[in-house]
Structure 1
């Protein structure tokens, strides 16, 4: 299962089958990641740079992102 969450500038991509539940995301950005809520990712609660920095530290690669471009 893959889910996507966007703040307008980037889209966070979460691949559930890759997640090892290290909780790095929750520890690094607790205002963004809320595993017991739906939606569990709230990218509007951090800057794009903070999101990118955190996603780059995901040990399993379950979290990735793409930069959104204007059409």
Structure 2
């Protein structure tokens, strides 16, 4: 998961590290940020990314203000 368009003019964006279950998203002076989500199985599981199946895996993205 990452944000695109950085907070500074010369930044491309930044990853959101969710290992702890949540991450803070800084807005800076921006009114909005774009979040990109890429999901894929672990390659150690023997998954071939060229294999297409009808399987779907739902997820939830919740955005809340920090206290």
Fold similarity call, TM over 0.5? no
Identify, as 1 or 2, the structure richer in helix. 1
Higher relative contact order (CA 8 A, sep 6+): 1
The normalised TM-score by structure 1 is 0.26
* Larger Rg, first or second structure (1 or 2): 2
Identify, as 1 or 2, the structure richer in strand. 1
